[in-house]
Structure 1
């Protein structure tokens, strides 16, 4: 049973994070290469802005903000699931190579199918899911031992190896591609938020609408999977079935996110850890907090990055890596 005081603390943290997200959204809407004064935001929302103001807000700023927020949430939830099913605090879709697998699939599709990016926007998450799923399957098989089960440390090491190998494949693909397509793949690799239009939002929303409630429904199973395998089996959990189902959910979340934001790592690593520090390791409590932290982290990184250097700014993936890489090293040394 969860203590009422802990539930109250979690609700207070959730409310605080919601206020922080709304504040960051408000600040982000006014910042950029074409600035929009803050006293004009509400009139523009109400349809009383000029054509330029409405274009900047509704066609440029708002879609990017929403995409970044949703992608951060998806990556954080994916990382939470992966850490639960592998019992490894270093698990993250970017570190394990799942994001790279999705990226290679997108690059192959983009390079060898005569289709414009905007016309296959709703296919992108499915293409990314296919590539990420194949990668996750290979990593899982190679790190699984029939006698001892899934080996968490081996999983991370194999995942890092896959990530580097897939990055090499991406470079080979770039070397034989047209210049215009090379630019797209290079931006994807850097974690540049490229899906900045409303159709990309509708492409990612269904995945979150389905998989967030599903994961919360499976939260108690994740708690049990976090224990030793003998305990989980003792209480009647079908370990392999639950792991595979939850792994599919984690892969789908990561693929849907990176299909519109590019190769962004460390969000799925940091958000669950921060949430566990705040509210403890119970999945029912920390997953909602991790989702909000992940959304805010990516939104904050993108807001800062795109305003540091004019006109294109620094990709969000690089900004997140500047924070996440030292945090990963800290966790690696601690564990």
Structure 2
């Protein structure tokens, strides 16, 4: 049973984070290459703005902010699930190669399969999911031992190996491609929020609407999976079944996110760690906090990055990596 004081603390933290998220969205709506003054935001949202103001807000700023927020939530949730399933605090979809697997699938799809532009946004998460699942299965098989179950350290090491190998595959794929297609994939690899349009929001939203409630429902299973395997089996948990289902959920979330935002790593590492530091390791408390925190972190990174350098800004993936990579090295040093 969770102490009522911790539940109150979680709710206060969630309210604060939601307030911070709303503040960043408002700031992001008014900042950018095309000016849109803050005193014109409410009239424009109510449909009383000029053509230019409505175009900038509804076709440029708002879709980008929403897709960034949704992708951040998906990556954070994927990260906290992976950490619970693998019993490894270093597990994260970008670090262990799942994002790279999704990226190779997207590159193959984009380079070699002709597709109608209208269906592109909706097919992309499915293509990314297929590549990410294949990668996750390979990592799982190489990390699993019949005698001792899933090896947490091996998950990270093998995942990093797969990530490097798949990055090499990506370079081979784009070495002979057309310039325009190479530019797109280069932006994807840098973590540029490229899918900033309404169809991409409708493409990622169903995954979150299904998998966020599912993951919160499975929070107690994650608590049990975080224990030693014999203990989890001893309390009656179908370990392999639960691990497989949750792993698929984590892969789907990461694939849906990176298919529209590019190869963004470390959100799935930072958000779960910060959430556990705020409310403790119980997944009933930390999962909702990590979700909201992940959305806020990616929003902040993208808002700062796109206004830091004109005209294209700095990709959100690079901004997150500037914070996340040193933190990953610190965790690695702490565990050694």
Residue 310 (1) aligns with residue 310 (2): yes
What CA distance in whole angstroms lies between the structure 1 residues aligned with 2:293 and 2:325?
A: 17
What CA distance in whole angstroms lies between the structure 2 residues aligned with 1:252 and 1:177?
A: 28
Residue 38 (1) aligns with residue 38 (2): yes
Give the deviation of 1:202 after TM superposition. 0.2
What CA distance in whole angstroms lies between the structure 2 residues aligned with 1:255 and 1:169?
A: 18
SS of residue in 2 equivalent to 1:182: helix
SS of residue in 1 equivalent to 2:122: coil
What CA distance in whole angstroms lies between the structure 2 residues aligned with 1:5 and 1:232?
A: 27
Residue 153 (1) aligns with residue 150 (2): no
What CA distance in whole angstroms lies between the structure 2 residues aligned with 1:35 and 1:174?
A: 36
Which consecutive segments of 4 or more residues in structure 1 shift more than 2 A? Answer: 115-119
Runs of 5+ consecutive residues of structure 1 not aligned to the other structure: none
Whether contact under 8 Å (1:106, 1:124) holds in the other structure is yes
Whether contact under 8 Å (1:99, 1:255) holds in the other structure is yes
| Residue equivalent to 1:290 | 290
What CA distance in whole angstroms lies between the structure 2 residues aligned with 1:51 and 1:120?
A: 28
| Residue equivalent to 2:82 | 82
Q: TM-score, normalised by structure 2?
A: 0.99
Residue 179 (1) aligns with residue 179 (2): yes
Runs of 5+ consecutive residues of structure 2 not aligned to the other structure: none
What CA distance in whole angstroms lies between the structure 2 residues aligned with 1:85 and 1:158?
A: 16
Report the number of matched residues: 335
| Residue equivalent to 1:113 | 113
What CA distance in whole angstroms lies between the structure 2 residues aligned with 1:166 and 1:67?
A: 26
Give the deviation of 1:4 after TM superposition. 0.6
| Residue equivalent to 2:205 | 205
What CA distance in whole angstroms lies between the structure 1 residues aligned with 2:153 and 2:53?
A: 52
What CA distance in whole angstroms lies between the structure 2 residues aligned with 1:6 and 1:328?
A: 28
RMSD over aligned CA atoms reads: 0.7
Whether contact under 8 Å (1:110, 1:117) holds in the other structure is no
1:72-131 Cα deviation digits (max 9, x unpaired): 000000000000010000000000000000010000000001225553110000000000
1:57-79 Cα deviation digits (max 9, x unpaired): 00000000000000000000000
What CA distance in whole angstroms lies between the structure 1 residues aligned with 2:181 and 2:314?
A: 20
